[in-house]
Structure 1
Amino acid sequence: MVNKKFYIFLIILKSLLLEASDTPYIFDIINKEQGLSSNAVSSIQQDSRGFLWLGTKSGLNYYDGYEFKVFHNDPFNDNSLAHDLVQTLYIDKDDTVWAGTYNGISRLDIATEKFTNYVYNSEDENSISNPIVTGLDRDNFGNLWIATLGGLNRLNLETGKIVRYLNNPEDSTSLMNNVVRSVMVDSKNRVWIGNLSGLDLYNPTTDSFIHYPYIEGIENGLPSPNVMKIIERGEDILYIGTWGGGVTKFNIKTDTYTNFPTLDNRIYTLNFDNNGFLWAGSWGGGISIIDVDSGNIKQLSSTKNLAGGISSDTIYSLFQDNTGIFWIGTNGGGLNKLNYQKQQLNFLTYNSEEKEGLSSGKIDVIFKGKNDNLWLSIYNEGLNIYNPKTKKVKHYRQDNKDPNSISSNIIGDIYEDSIGRIWLATNDGLNIYNPDKDNFEKFTDSFIKEQGISDTYTKIAEDKENNLWIGTYFNGLLKMDLDLKNIKHYNNLSDNLTREIVVRENGDIWIGTNRGLNKYNPETNDFTHYFLDKTDIKGINNNNIRSIIEDSNKHLWIGTLGGGVMRYNDSDNTFTHFTTNNGLSSNYVMSMAETNDNQIWIGTMNGVSIINILTYEIDTITKEDGLVDMEMSEGILVDKNKVYLGSFDTLSLFEKSEKIINKYSPLVYIKSVKLGNKLVPGLNPYTDKTKMEVDYADARYITFNFVGLSYLHPLKTEYSYKLEGFDKKWSKRDPRNFALYTNLSPGRYRLLVKAVNNDNVWSYKEAQLEIVIKPPFWKTWWAYLLYIIIILVFIYLLFGFKAGMDRRKRLLELEIINKKNIDLSIRDPLTGIYNRRYLKQRFDIEIEACIVYGTPISTLMLDIDNFKIFNDTHGHLAGDKCLISVVKAVQKVLNRPDDSFVRYGGEEFCILLPRTDLEGAKIIAENIRKSVEETGIVTVSIGVYTKIPVSTDVSNKLIKCADEALYLAKKRGKNRFEIGG
């Protein structure tokens, strides 16, 4: 009878379970690598300001999306956490955090970061009844209810008095069992207790309990005596998680129970999401997501071994925050965050244990064949054909013993011609697929042999006249009719290594090569070549062409290996460039394809970029969005609303659908302020401090750290700030969540900070902090009074001594002249910029600042190429104008107030870039080089040197290293920059 019931249960359960693919859930995993103190997360709560609090097996964690602050037990500090193993959390409306630990409960005052502890004391009846706390909740009468493994406790928060409730075998109205696993106060202020004998309801009138015990064998009752979790959903409806009995719905009014079967009935925790689904976390069987109306269940487990799945099947805690993000605490797998904007992108991945799975290697070509089969060229591993019905991969490899195998394991292209033949362009000839025999025939032709054309083929396309155009690796192009008879050879391309062939709607054929772009006009039988010309900013910007497509608006797009993407403008035969400066994820483009919503998807060496062909806005897809590998290969395919992307060992699939917008504006707070390296005490998001005073001596370096709470994609949150009284406008959007100000003058300032999330939703309220920098003693009112007295005495003495007055007057005039000369001495009179004397002063200050903060400083030495020849040819007046033009060109690039640009001597200049790493310095150097080159007058060579300075570093040392790099740039051809070692 038992076996029969068990099988019936399995049949019902299987019929209720939803397929995993129906509604994919993608999770981000946050663990110790990101700073979490333990991968066992027992409790999750959120305070009124939006910060998350996590109880773990190794301390209490405070999380803002960027970093964790961890509170640990200190045995020598009574105001520290009572125990590092935090089992449960409760947060009051006033943001008081209550932590239930393995040594009682701890009350945290967040503003002061001090704990008050209530611990078990066997000799004190006013202490809690057991050290191990399993549950916390608060009623409307100011009582905190405490579940422990040794009874229930009620703490009066006003008096601090604790009342214990224990099982008394002689009292039928006492607690049923002392092992209490959960306590919950419902919307009617009723206190429900889950223990190892069932469910108890506290009766405040009699100070006793009403029992709902587990009774074995009855249909309408608890399925297990072990009640682990109780939650309320609607009036008089409870959902109960039990150990050994799964989930049950308890209708209090009708006293009826509805049980929900789960794959693992050891339910540890429960929570409803905003869609009304009940999430049941089990102790080893993952999560059951229950539609309580239909009874359907979706199972989540970690056994699928897919990126984006939950990290552990042992579920400790479940929580949904105020922005709708669902969080899962696991025992051993860290914290899991449900990212509702992510997709499961790794459609196929290499697995060494799968014989009928994807081969290992780079996916160079993706082609859709008949029956929706996907043909995949795997570099040096031949051909994979994926059958979506069987979800199996068939492998085709070169076999010397089989003349009908593919002729090479390196396949450059897969193409289906207009009469249905499928061609493979390989490193050892052209192959034609025979669908009847499921094998390949190698195409041979006497003309090709006579011409000595190599068998290494790269691309295939078909023109309007049904001619096949075939690209080779060494010998240019072949043109062949569909009868495979008339073959013509073209070897007059810009380079004979053909990378791409595209036939445009107007009949023109565009060919991308390893060295230049080519356009073939079939009417005139002529080729037009396009090469990089550094003097033509509207020409192509890179010769290495990797991808060409024509979009639905008849515009041609060209992807390059190093120059980003170009759009060809037919009207004036020019090119518009899109690079990393415009938001492209990388200038190294591997593949491109257009979708049906006016977007071009671009696979790069650093993720995927998407260009809107109407607005030219650029979006990116990174690992934050679910990409497994950021380095894309040449393989790309658009199939209706699907985009397939190839990389090493992975075929990613992005199914385009209406994007779920992150509509929640970030909550912005000023987290902390540092004066130099010293943290300002008592200033955090909980103190509500809106004003701070700073001594003038401490105002040399002020760092403001802020945070915009946006947990969905925290690293994509950007900030803009403004220091009123100093900044004239808001700073540009930047993902860095800090601002540094140096040498602020005495006075009143107000810092304003705002944030914008990944979907361009700005914070509705700015964080504000007023800063008062107190003047030094020599600028106080009494100091000014003293100055007035001194001046009056001085005037009196002047009037008293006529001769002395005249002498002092002359000295004063000389002093004024001297001050003007000093100002002139630090500025170059020709260009108006600072000179070498000013550089020495500024350099020492910036080196000291970088030493304090451990940030890099970059030095650029710049010299005008062939300036002496220019001077000798055009005269000194033209030379002066040239110097001024160069200065203006450089100033266009330098837009940060902290950057220093000085004339070092003659035609040599020095640029100081504080807090700039090597990558930033390289970008600025290249932009300066281009800016000067665009003047059309002269070019410049630049030496770049970047270092995080130490106390022994001096300005001359850094300038010398940059100067050596400048010499190297001159030596290697000028009009370039080099990096100093």
Structure 2
Amino acid sequence: MIRWRSFLPLLWAALATSPPLVRAGLLPVSDRRVNYSRFERVEVSVEASCVHAMLQDVSGLMWICTDKGLYNYDGYRAVACHARNDLTRVQTHCAAVIGERIWTGTDRGVLVYDIRRDRYVADSLLAGQTVRSILHAGGAVWMGCSQGVWRYDPKCDRLDRVRVERGHEEQGVYSLHADRTGLYAGMFDGLYRYDEAAEAFVRLGPAQTHSLFVYAICPDPLRGCLYLGTQQGLWRYEPGTGLFRSEGGLRHAVINDVAVDRDGVVVLGSDAGLILYDGRTMRTLTHDARSDASLSHDDIESLRVDRAGNVWIGTHDGISLARYGQTGEKIALSEFTGSGYGMTITAMMQDSRGALWCGGPSGVLHVAEEGTSCLHHIRSERHPLPHNCVHSFYEDGAGEVWAATDGGALRYDRPAGRFVAYPVETDRYNAEWCYTLAEDGRGRIWIGTFSAGIFLCDRARLLREGVGRPERNLAGEIRNGSVFRMLRDARGCIWALYYDKGLDRIDPEGAVEHYDLARYIGTQVIPTDMALDDAGFLWAGFLGGVLRIDTRTGEALRLDFPEGRDSEVLAVGCSPEAAWITTTDGRVWCVDRRRLAVEPVPVPLCQYPSVCYERTGDCMLLGCVDGVLRIPLPFADPSAPPCRPILTSLSVDGRPWAPVDGGGEPLSIRYAERIDLPHDRNDLELRFASMNFGPRGSEKYAYRLDPADGDWSPVAPDANGVSLLNVAPGNYRLEVCMTDRSGHPVPGTVRALRITVRPPLYRSAGAVALYLCLAAGAAVAAAAAVQRRDRRRRERFERETLLAQAKAK
């Protein structure tokens, strides 16, 4: 048994039982927007494993400095900015965006990359030196290298070495920072500030700070100070008072980089993990080999907070991304169990006492109301199950919890802390493959099975004798022996949903009424799951939508999903305000019970085969593989505001294609307004991204090709590109935009690209003009020939006439 500190809400319980490296929340869940409990891995390159720096340009594209050169990342893939054996494939330590160029500090000096042309500029600065910091300030480029500070004036193309106070000229410079209080440099022996009068850097602070190796300088506008990452932990400098002091007691930790996130938390990248500091306490997050959602590596080189508030963590094994403002937070199963036991949670229920029950093909996880949790499975000695496969849970009127399993109906014996099996059978059938359970108002347990229909058993007798002889078996009266779900409405009727055979309503006397689903959804589809809300409405999910049935009148209302109508419903659940539906394509839909509006829930694309409302924490729980996604209510869309997508790549006939500008120079597709293609290169593939770096599938796009397409065509949720095959010669306008929750284009987000596919030579304008000239020449020649023929005919006629007249005389 694993003792938890609390259970309400569920997330706090999960965090309380997690290993110390996972349990690192600084702020309450309701206040903290950056999710440090789950990191997303960003792959840069197998060979470029160490990430030294990251930055974001004005378009939102991320640029990544690695030990194998410069890369850019659009949220979907990383692209190298160098060739395989190029000299620019060098260890890159830092970078700065200056206009339309990126200045990078490398082991071979400063290399400049032209963003607009997607290529390096030929000239380099400080060749042969290792440059570890670059800053653009006061119209000049400041460069910190292994032998001091250099300043480059681009207006006059002048490079000068900047003086440092006597005795420190050869110090290595690792960081540069400029704000209204001055220009600062972090060196081997402390923090320096540029003195404009002396035109030199002067060391700050008392003698005790002169041994600090300052790796990073980070401003904190909220606290009005500069945080310094050093080899002796975190230090704080206040420009107004000149005060230095050590923070957090990390005197022996090496802090490689410092950042402040949108919550005001100071994030420290150290050589021993990620440290979060709220001004009072520090918590450390490190790599956990049991979880793919932990840090990718403990040695952290760089940090960056992007324009959407996400925190990027550059390590010695790629990038870990902590997202800002997600709708839900995934709680790993290991945080419940403290072990590597795996389970796909296909069934969930919270009982009247507040305990949570999770089940699936690998047993049962029970989180009790008093703060304990345990696993029940077939191999457990203390908490065994007759069968591991659990299909559903049910709580009867007496508060007893039952589980429907492939080993029959099980009841949880609270004093013993284990499940007890109750075999039920007739001379012909048995209830071994139990899928669902219910209870009527007459003290009978209804047991729905996969192959033997429904058994009605007296509950008191079943508990007393331990073996049940059912009072009745409804295998002959119902539509199908395969019963998937049973629910009891307020009038005492049992609604039974079957595999492939529709829905029945069974009254307390056992009379079966086949519900007419075809009237509302046709005969081609049937519901695959259902749930009953507290107002007496049954929500039945089917292929492409959900049916709301009034259990009092039998009337129903069909509600279709705005998109994804070819996806089957996996699970249905109800909260006090909405119905929640998950589908096989990884989407989650929320139907407001008052407005009856169907809206998508922006969660990570994943199959969620179970849905449960947790009333104690007022949240929805979505079961998935090895965990639960917890969504606090009411949920708010955390997505960044829609923006115009950026075209990131263009392939023609399967090969990269570089557009050209008016002067014939190569041009990045990000800046291209039009492309011109020959007739035999007309298979195009374009990729685009919003640069918001939201969860995969949360950002939706649509496109149209004018004049070939009149309407917008949606792009698949997990895709960021379109393919245009065999485009006929002509002029086109490709438009790409972002869409809202309903799939409609968002105004102001259209990115247009003009495409010209030139016709073959024999169909070109010159060829047509030549054809017209030849036709005109042929017509003129023909007309001249006709004139000559007519003239000869007239002349011959005249001669013959004259001869005839002469003979007549």
1:267 and 1:432, CA in 2 relative to 1: closer, same or farther beyond 3 A?
closer
Deviation at 1:330, TM superposition (A): 1.5
Unaligned 5+ segments in structure 2 are 1-20, 463-469, 661-665, 793-809
Aligned residue in 1 for 2:779: 791
Residues in 2 aligned to 1:27 and 1:275: alpha-carbon distance in whole angstroms: 17
2:738 to 740, 755, 766: 755
1:164 to 156, 161, 166: 161
Q: Does 1:101 align with 2:92?
A: no
Q: Does 1:147 align with 2:128?
A: no
1:215 and 1:666, CA in 2 relative to 1: closer, same or farther beyond 3 A?
same
SS of aligned partner of 2:161: strand
Deviation at 1:154, TM superposition (A): 1.8
Q: Does 1:599 align with 2:565?
A: no
Aligned residue in 1 for 2:66: 56
2:643 to 658, 666, 669: 666
Residues in 2 aligned to 1:442 and 1:571: alpha-carbon distance in whole angstroms: 35
1:200 to 192, 202, 211: 192
Structure number with higher helix proportion: 1
**Partners of 1:671 and 1:684 within 8 A in 2:** no
Deviation at 1:728, TM superposition (A): 4.2
1:312 and 1:608, CA in 2 relative to 1: closer, same or farther beyond 3 A?
same
Residues in 2 aligned to 1:331 and 1:50: alpha-carbon distance in whole angstroms: 24
SS of aligned partner of 1:484: helix
Q: Does 1:40 align with 2:40?
A: no
Q: What amino acid is aligned across from residue 794 of structure 1 in structure 2?
A: A
Aligned residue in 2 for 1:251: 238
Aligned residue in 1 for 2:204: 212
Aligned residue in 2 for 1:115: 120
Within 5 Å, give how 1:425-444 maps onto structure 2: 425-428=404-407, 430-438=409-417, 443=422
Greater relative contact order, per chain length (Cα 8 Å cut-off, separation 6+):
2
Residues in 1 aligned to 2:742 and 2:247: alpha-carbon distance in whole angstroms: 38
Unaligned 5+ segments in structure 1 are 1-13, 121-126, 217-221, 805-981
Q: What amino acid is aligned across from residue 67 of structure 1 in structure 2?
A: R
2:473 to 476, 489, 502: 489
SS of aligned partner of 2:259: strand
SS of aligned partner of 1:334: strand
2:97 to 86, 91, 97: 91
Residues in 1 aligned to 2:401 and 2:117: alpha-carbon distance in whole angstroms: 72
Aligned residue in 2 for 1:839: none
2:213 to 226, 233, 249: 226
Aligned residue in 1 for 2:466: none
1:658 and 1:197, CA in 2 relative to 1: closer, same or farther beyond 3 A?
same
The alignment of Structure 1 onto Structure 2 pairs a total of residues equal to 744
Residues in 2 aligned to 1:40 and 1:183: alpha-carbon distance in whole angstroms: 21
Q: Deviations over 1:845-899 (max 9, x none)?
A: xxxxxxxxxxxxxxxxxxxxxxxxxxxxxxxxxxxxxxxxxxxxxxxxxxxxxxx
Residues in 1 aligned to 2:327 and 2:46: alpha-carbon distance in whole angstroms: 23
Q: What amino acid is aligned across from residue 133 of structure 1 in structure 2?
A: V
Q: Deviations over 1:80-131 (max 9, x none)?
A: 52x5100000111x121100001111012223334346768xxxxxx46x61
Q: What amino acid is aligned across from residue 762 of structure 1 in structure 2?
A: V
Deviation at 1:388, TM superposition (A): 6.5
Q: Deviations over 1:153-202 (max 9, x none)?
A: 222323433323576xxxx54536612211222235x3311111111222
Within 5 Å, give how 1:966-977 maps onto structure 2: none
**Partners of 1:173 and 1:209 within 8 A in 2:** no
Residues in 2 aligned to 1:428 and 1:703: alpha-carbon distance in whole angstroms: 53
SS of aligned partner of 1:199: strand
Q: Does 1:311 align with 2:296?
A: yes
Q: What amino acid is aligned across from residue 207 of structure 2 in structure 1?
A: I
Residues in 2 aligned to 1:679 and 1:605: alpha-carbon distance in whole angstroms: 33
Deviation at 1:594, TM superposition (A): 1.0
1:101 and 1:389, CA in 2 relative to 1: closer, same or farther beyond 3 A?
farther
1:37 and 1:193, CA in 2 relative to 1: closer, same or farther beyond 3 A?
same
Q: Does 1:343 align with 2:323?
A: no
TM-score normalised by L of structure 2? 0.79
1:800 and 1:460, CA in 2 relative to 1: closer, same or farther beyond 3 A?
same
SS of aligned partner of 2:171: coil
Residues in 2 aligned to 1:235 and 1:576: alpha-carbon distance in whole angstroms: 53
Q: Deviations over 1:315-370 (max 9, x none)?
A: 2111222333322212224352524315331342499xx6x758544445433346
SS of aligned partner of 2:776: helix
Residues in 1 aligned to 2:312 and 2:566: alpha-carbon distance in whole angstroms: 30
Aligned residue in 1 for 2:276: 288
Residues in 1 aligned to 2:94 and 2:442: alpha-carbon distance in whole angstroms: 74
Q: CA RMSD in A?
A: 4.4
**Partners of 2:568 and 2:583 within 8 A in 1:** no
1:607 and 1:106, CA in 2 relative to 1: closer, same or farther beyond 3 A?
same
Q: Does 1:501 align with 2:486?
A: yes
1:443 and 1:732, CA in 2 relative to 1: closer, same or farther beyond 3 A?
closer
Deviation at 1:147, TM superposition (A): 0.9
Q: Does 1:679 align with 2:684?
A: no
Deviation at 1:430, TM superposition (A): 4.4
1:226 and 1:117, CA in 2 relative to 1: closer, same or farther beyond 3 A?
farther
Aligned residue in 2 for 1:461: 438
Q: What amino acid is aligned across from residue 470 of structure 1 in structure 2?
A: I
Q: Does 1:372 align with 2:365?
A: no
Q: Does 1:65 align with 2:65?
A: no
Deviation at 1:135, TM superposition (A): 0.5
SS of aligned partner of 1:111: coil
Residues in 1 aligned to 2:675 and 2:385: alpha-carbon distance in whole angstroms: 75
Deviation at 1:766, TM superposition (A): 3.2
Q: What amino acid is aligned across from residue 272 of structure 1 in structure 2?
A: V
Within 5 Å, give how 1:705-724 maps onto structure 2: 705-713=687-695, 715-724=697-706
1:565 and 1:667, CA in 2 relative to 1: closer, same or farther beyond 3 A?
closer
Question: Equivalent pairs: percent with the same residue?
Answer: 17
Q: What amino acid is aligned across from residue 73 of structure 2 in structure 1?
A: Y
Residues in 2 aligned to 1:759 and 1:729: alpha-carbon distance in whole angstroms: 15
Deviation at 1:266, TM superposition (A): 1.3
Aligned residue in 2 for 1:332: 317
Deviation at 1:571, TM superposition (A): 10
Q: What amino acid is aligned across from residue 29 of structure 1 in structure 2?
A: E
**Partners of 1:360 and 1:378 within 8 A in 2:** no
Q: What amino acid is aligned across from residue 489 of structure 1 in structure 2?
A: N
**Partners of 1:119 and 1:131 within 8 A in 2:** no
1:27 and 1:480, CA in 2 relative to 1: closer, same or farther beyond 3 A?
closer
Residues in 2 aligned to 1:373 and 1:780: alpha-carbon distance in whole angstroms: 81
Q: Deviations over 1:279-319 (max 9, x none)?
A: 2221223132434xxx3445433348545433222221112
Residues in 1 aligned to 2:146 and 2:441: alpha-carbon distance in whole angstroms: 81
1:652 and 1:461, CA in 2 relative to 1: closer, same or farther beyond 3 A?
same
Residues in 2 aligned to 1:223 and 1:246: alpha-carbon distance in whole angstroms: 14
Residues in 1 aligned to 2:708 and 2:587: alpha-carbon distance in whole angstroms: 39
Within 5 Å, give how 1:910-949 maps onto structure 2: none
1:323 and 1:398, CA in 2 relative to 1: closer, same or farther beyond 3 A?
closer
Aligned residue in 1 for 2:6: none
Residues 100-109 or 652-661, more deviating: 652-661
Residues 611-620 or 154-163, more deviating: 611-620
**Partners of 1:601 and 1:608 within 8 A in 2:** yes
Residues in 2 aligned to 1:675 and 1:322: alpha-carbon distance in whole angstroms: 32
Residues in 1 aligned to 2:638 and 2:614: alpha-carbon distance in whole angstroms: 24
Residues in 2 aligned to 1:346 and 1:29: alpha-carbon distance in whole angstroms: 14
Deviation at 1:493, TM superposition (A): 1.9
**Partners of 1:266 and 1:283 within 8 A in 2:** yes
Q: Deviations over 1:623-679 (max 9, x none)?
A: x35x5xx3x556756445233344454444444443243242223344455665572
**Partners of 1:229 and 1:268 within 8 A in 2:** yes
1:767 and 1:255, CA in 2 relative to 1: closer, same or farther beyond 3 A?
same
Aligned residue in 2 for 1:417: 396
TM-score normalised by L of structure 1? 0.66
Deviation at 1:42, TM superposition (A): 1.0
Aligned residue in 2 for 1:899: none
